[in-house]
Amino acid sequence: MTRLIKVIFAPVRLIWAAWRRLALHTQILAGLFLGAAAGVAANAFAADATWVRWFGDNVANPVGQIFLRMLLMTVVPLVFASITLGVAGLGDLRKVGRVGGKTLLYFLFCTTLSATLGIFLVNLVDPGQGLDPAIRQQLFDTYRGQAQGLQAAGGTQFGINTFVNIVPRNPIQAAASLDLLAVLFFALVFGAALTLVPDTKARPLLAVIEGLGEAIVKIIDFAMKLAPYGVFGLIFVVTSRFGWTLLSTLGAYVAVVLVGLFLYASIGLSALVRIFGGLNPLVFWRKARVSAITAFSTSSSSATLPTNIKVAEQELGIPPTVAGFVLPLGATMNMNGTSLYEGVTVLFLAQVFGVDLALGQQVIVVLLSVIMAVGAAGVPGGSLPLIMVVLGTVGVPPEGIAVILGVDRILDMCRTIPNVTGDLTAAVFIARTEAGWKPTMVRAERRDPQPVAAA
What is the pLDDT, as a whole number, of residue 451?
Answer: 37
**What per-residue confidence (pLDDT) applies to 246?**
54
One of 3.40.640.10, 1.10.3860.10, 1.10.274.30, 3.20.20.150 is the CATH number of 29-441, namely 1.10.3860.10
Calculate mean pLDDT across residues 125-137: 71
The whole-number average pLDDT for the span 209-229 is 80
**195-207 pLDDT, tens digit each:** 888 888 888 888 8
CA nearest neighbour of 228 among 72, 379, 75, 20: 20
pLDDT higher than 90, residue 259: yes
CA 313 distance to own-chain centroid:
18
According to the model, what pLDDT value does residue 153 have? 42
* Of 427 and 371, more confident: 427
**Cα 289 to chain center, whole Å?**
13
pLDDT at 57: 83
Confidence at residue 245, expressed as pLDDT on a 0 to 100 scale: 55
pLDDT for position 274: 92
Confidence of residue 243 (pLDDT cuts 50, 70, 90): low
- More confidently predicted of 95 and 21: 21
pLDDT at 453 over 50: no
CA–CA gap between residue 8 and residue 149 (Å, rounded): 52
Question: Which pLDDT value is given to residue 157?
Answer: 47
Q: Which of 297-306, 349-358, 396-405, 431-440 has the lowest mean pLDDT?
A: 396-405
Task: Return the pLDDT at 450.
Answer: 39
Question: Which residues have a Cβ under 8 Å from the Cβ of 175 and sit 6 or more positions away?
Answer: 76, 80, 183
User: Which pLDDT score is estimated for 448?
Assistant: 39
Per-residue pLDDT, 385: 63
Distance CA 441, CA 20 (A): 30
Question: Band of the pLDDT at 353, cuts 50, 70, 90?
Answer: confident
Question: Is residue 284's pLDDT more than 80?
Answer: yes
Partners of residue 451 on adjacent β-strands:
443
The answer on pLDDT for 20 being more than 70 is yes
Position with higher pLDDT, 335 vs 451 = 335
Q: Which residue has the higher pLDDT, 359 or 414?
A: 414
Q: Name 443's bridge partners.
A: 451
Side chain identity at residue 284, one-letter code: F
Res 229: pLDDT: 86
Is the Cβ–Cβ distance between 338 and 112 less than 8 Å? Answer: no
Look at 39-48, 184-193, 402-411 and tell me which has the smallest mean pLDDT.
402-411
Q: Domain residue spans in the chain?
A: 29-441
Q: What is the DSSP string of 352-421?
A: HTT-PPPHHHHHHHHHHHHHHHHHS-SSTTTTHHHHHHHHHHTT--GGGGGGGHHHHHHHHHHHHHHHHH
How much of the chain exceeds pLDDT 70, in percent?
76
- Rounded CA-CA distance 4/220 in Å is 40
Q: What mean pLDDT is predicted for residues 219-231?
A: 79
> What is the pLDDT of the chain when averaged over all its residues?
77
Give SS3 for 75: helix
| Per-residue pLDDT at 326 exceeds 90 | no
Query: Mean pLDDT, to the nearest integer, of 3-30?
Result: 72
pLDDT, position 272: 92
DSSP line for 321-370: HHHHHHHHHHHHH--HHHHHHHHHHHHHHHHHTT-PPPHHHHHHHHHHHH
Q: What would the pLDDT profile of 376-417 be if each residue is shown by its tens digit?
A: 555 555 566 667 767 777 777 776 776 776 677 778 888 889
Coil, strand or helix: which one is 216? helix
Q: What is the pLDDT of residue 249?
A: 58
Q: What average pLDDT does range 179-184 have in this prediction? A: 74
pLDDT at 150: 46
Q: Which pLDDT score, from 0 to 100, does residue 425 have?
A: 93
* Residue type present at position 317: G
* CB hemisphere CA count around 166 (13 angstroms): 19
**pLDDT single digits (tens) 89-126:** 666 566 667 787 888 889 889 888 998 998 899 888 88
